Structure 1
Amino acid sequence: MAQRNLRIAIIGAGASGIMSLIKMRERGLTDVTIFEKAGRLGGTWRDNRYPGLSCDVPSHLYRYSFEPNPDWSRVCSPGPEILAYLERVVEKHGIAPHIRYDSEVTRAEFQDGQWLLETTQGPQGAFDAVLVAVGVLHHPVYPDIAGLECFAGPSFHTSRWADGIDLAGRRVGIIGTGSTATQITGAIVDEVSHLALFMRTPQWILPLPNPPIPEEEKARYRANPELVDDTYRRYASDFNSGFASAVVGAAPERYAEIEAACKGYLASVRDPDLRARLTPDYRVMCKRMIMSDNFYEAVQKPNAEVVREAIRQIEPQGVRTADGRLHQIDVLVLATGFDTHRFVRPMTVIGRNGRSLDEVWANANEGYLGVTVPGLPNWFMIGGPNSPIGNFSWLLTAENQFNYAMQLIDRLRSGNVREIEPKVEAVRAFNAAVKAKMPDTIWASGCDSWYVDKNGNVASWPWTYEKFEADMREPVLDDYEMV
């Protein structure tokens, strides 16, 4: 029987959306379109342009398995280099004509076996399947602080960095202490006249040297492509059997090593008062692990100040803290992170029988294996609920989830199946297993992090990479309703 040439929509032209389009076209699907809300590809690597931006996964692991790059400049790549890599991949595979920019999907409704999509450019017609590849780090969170709009100088979220702003000799305040604030601090402290880091919650920092990759090493990679792939496999094995297993409680020895490294780095802070203010009151890795090669060195410099007092309000000239002090600053940087639980919102999604996704997710964002959602036939997600966002390399996660989704899409292509969605009982069993296993993970050890939703559920993957890979290898078709 001849295969159906499905019409498929991909939402998002970040790293996972680009990979999905390439892979679908390789499999002979020619009617595939990416709808991208911005005017350029790249997702988080497009939106974030702040000083010091880099990936916290080694470069030779943070890449597509099918697109090795022998020319990474550092052990962990700077953001602009990753964006350039994505642009080169798009050009190489000739997929740019299939990306529609400035086309945010505002509504998706399932009718008569197809999805009707509307974007900011108007109705787009019917699609046989939708693949959501929007990522989770794209809805900036702004702090609820009185007077924020009153600040007289430049003020912006880190994902909306003011291009061209000159920080030299200026007094800069940073609100937030996550990975972004850590990277910016190390990058600008020698440039500004004064840096005030407003720290509500201190973080554990893992020292991660990030030296340049020597030219002779790059030359060896260029001359021997198999060496690049060997490095990729070695990093993947080390990362997945080490860090990824430690965070879910499956590698206590490795966890102890990471904990000791974080505490050892903290001990390098000479001033005992500053060291005390930088010491977290929760276990290592409970929040997303932060890695740096210069943060503690940066905050010990004479022009740097760590402010632990609560912020009372923002005033035209600066930040006033609860002790009554006005911290005078010229530029205010909001390193306050993202709402990682919004997923496709504010898009309106109407599934089977007119039921909205907001209704389905009224109590919690729940799906099946992070890929499918009950009541949404032919709707597939990369990075959906309980995906391993903080466990593994994101691109490794995305490729595994795409391969799983593609096997379900192949059922639609066969012509024997028109609609496919997970059975409610399978979804319930999966989410019950998640909740039962989550207490074994470090995320459930007692801290507030962006993994935790409004109802106190830890929204991540509580098992090892080996289990994830096995679950993604082949769908259990008995867990699906097929029409």
Structure 2
Amino acid sequence: MPPENTSIVIIGAGPAGIGMAVELLRRGITDFTVLEKADAVGGTWRDNRYPGVACDVPALYYGYSFAPNTAARSTFASGAELLDYFQGVASANDVLPHVHHGVEVASAVWDGTGWDVESTTGERWHADIVITAVGRLHRPRFPDIPGLADFTGLLAHSAQWDPTTDLHGRRLGIIGTGSSAVQMVVGASPVVEHLDLFQRTPQWVYPLADEPLPEQVRAHLAASPEAARAAYDAIEKQIAAAADAMVNGDQVRIDERDDAVRAALAGVRDPELRRKLTPGYEIGCKRLVVSGKFYDAVQQENVELVTEGIERIEADGVRTVDGVLHRLDTLILATGFRADAFLRPMRVVGEDGVDLDTVWADTFTNYKSVAIPHMPNFFTINGPFSPGGSLSILTVIEQHIGYVLQLVDTIRAQRVAVVPDTDRTQELFDEVREKATKTVWFTGGCQSWYLGADGLPIVAPLTLDQLREDMRRPVLDDFDITPLPAGASS
């Protein structure tokens, strides 16, 4: 079957894909297609629906700058509220007619005139430009624990949880202690009969309170775009200051953060439990878990923190290395994601038949997180080395979108192929990676998704001002720009 021709293919309909589609439509560009593997838009907020799921960035700021999220009922929006928000933005801006659901991309191959994109079911598209918006935390990581298949109760990864499941009266086990696990302990402990939290590595927890937003405040923000934008800007200023402190080593602000974290932990009454909850690495080495309720929840009588290693999973529970069988009827794997997978298992082949797996054989070499050598007219939103460790990911997404749109304009106006120069890419990449190795992410003594398989950072230490300057305008001298053959359709 011949491919469907389109100017632009966007892969993914989460926050990044929706944002890119909205901005294309605002420019009057309508000949684009969004390919989404799931049956609805929304990305991570469509997938993650476990008990207690929420965002750890203030709701008024965790949204697009052109549409501040004024509907959340508290400081931090629930997952359901965020799904409503992103689906609402997609609907209100006429993105949905461009989305093809149930389409997982298997390959994208450059043929000299454009990209042949093929799905796992054989559907094909030919596009001048491919923009990937697949996110970094969407491929679940399953633990290598013997006996997982032997468990006869309800077993699910946190990203595959069915929200209609009734947890009342259940004996629940949660493996993992990252943000998802912490939120689940808070959300599930009031209703389950018993909860075992299996911890390998404790987390530092920042105690931000999740306060209700009064109805009159929400109504005012919804009715006044100026007020909503002012609130958005005020929160951005606070987040930018925190990023500045982390990147530039502002010890006063860092000490203030650390004091708050340690004071929250000191509130755990039982000294032995407090000891078990105390990490052995520096604060900030991993992304801080944000919760003002976790330490209270983990001290409830029906909650047990299990720090003994897991020997195996059995039919009716988890057996730890001390021989104890923790009897359970429900087990949730809060074991994170394959953040280092990025575009995989998608096969991407660029100019001269160069495979992306070859380009990324050693590490995720890329140009400013948005472009890749040997891959003409192929762009990544929130790609490798995005500064997700210090800034809101929505801020990063919007900055990347603005930058890529300028390259899209160049490609369409001049009918050219644009690809980052390999040597310049390596030079800039090495600078960023060298800077990242001086951060607490690398020196703080922990393992996290901030580090790649080689043990080196895969996030960039940028302040908001640095990100904006980086994304302000493409330096076209950093790219190889060649005319497309006659007949190409840009």
TM-score category of the 2 structures, normalised to the smaller one:
over 0.9
Within the candidate set 428, 431, 456, 1:430 is matched to: 428
Shift of 1:463: 2.5
Quote the offset at 1:249 in angstroms: 4.0
Q: Is 1:216 matched up with 2:209? A: no
1:286 alignment partner, SS class = coil
Equivalent residues of 2:390, 2:462 under 8 A apart: no
Which letter maps to 2:188? I
Determine whether 1:188 maps to 2:188.
yes
2:260 alignment partner in structure 1: 261
Deviations 1:82-134 (A, max 9, x none): 11111111111122110000011111000022000101342423110000000
* Matching of residue 54 in structure 1 with residue 54 in structure 2: yes
Structure 2: 5+ residue runs without aligned partners? 483-490
Q: Which runs of structure 1 show a deviation greater than 6 angstroms over 4 or more consecutive aligned residues?
A: none
Is the CA contact 2:436–2:457 (under 8 Å) kept in the aligned structure 1?
Answer: yes
The answer (yes or no) to whether the contact 1:6–1:31 under 8 Å persists in 2 is: yes
Query: What is the deviation of 1:72?
Result: 2.0
Alpha-carbon distance between aligned partners in 2 of 1:38 and 1:6, rounded to the nearest angstrom: 21
> In the alignment, what sits opposite 2:236?
236
CA distance in structure 2 between the aligned counterparts of 1:189 and 1:246, rounded to whole angstroms: 35
Shift in Å at residue 380 of structure 1?
Answer: 0.5
| Alpha-carbon separation, structure 1, partners of 2:423 and 2:446 | 31
- Say if 2:326 is the partner of 1:351: no
Name which of structure 1's ranges 139-148 and 384-393 shifts more when overlaid on structure 2. Answer: 384-393
What's the CA shift string for 1:269-327, capped at 9, x where partnerless? Answer: 00000000000000111011100021000111111110111101111111111111111
**Deviation per residue, 1:428-483 (Å, 9 max, x gap):** 11121012211331201221001111111110012222111100001111111100
The correspondence for 1:444, drawn from 442, 445, 453, is 442
Q: Tell me the residue number matched to 1:274.
A: 273
Normalised by the length of structure 2, the TM-score is 0.95
Query: What amino acid does structure 2 have at the position aligned with 1:418?
Result: V
SS in 1 for 2:305: strand
- Cα pair 1:102 1:120 within 8 Å, conserved: no
2:272 and 2:438 mapped to 1: Cα distance? 34
Q: Which residue in the other structure is 2:202 paired with?
A: 202
Would the alpha carbon gap of residues 211 and 54 (structure 1) be closer, same or farther in structure 2, given more than 3 Å must change? same
- Where does residue 412 of structure 1 map in the other structure? 411
Query: Equivalents in 1 of 2:326, 2:481: separation in Å?
Result: 61
* Higher deviation after alignment, 386-395 or 16-25: 386-395
Alignment of 1:236-385 (within 5 A): 236-242=236-242, 244-385=243-384
Deviation at 1:164, TM superposition (A): 2.5
Quote the Cα distance in structure 2 between the aligned partners of 1:343 and 1:227: 37
2:348 touches 2:355 (CA, 8 Å); kept in 1?
yes
Rate the CA distance shift 1:306–1:444 in 2: closer, same or farther, 3 A.
Answer: same
Provide closer, same or farther for how the CA distance between residues 161 and 116 of structure 1 changes in structure 2, counting only shifts above 3 A: same
Matched, 1:394 2:393: yes
Deviation track 1:157-196 (CA, whole Å, cap 9, x = no partner) reads 0001034222211111100000000000011111111111
Aligned to 2:488: none
My pick for the range that moved more, 192-201 or 458-467, is 458-467
The residue number in structure 1 matching 2:42 is 42
Is the aligned partner of 1:145 residue 2:180?
no
What CA distance in whole angstroms lies between the structure 2 residues aligned with 1:362 and 1:69? 40
Equivalent residue for 1:135? 135
What is the CA distance between 1:6 and its match in structure 2? 7.1
Structure 1 alignment gaps of length 5 or more: none
CA distance in 2, matches of 1:433, 1:472: 17
Q: How does 1:141-180 map to 2 (within 5 A)?
A: 141-180=141-180
The CA deviation at 1:220 is 2.3
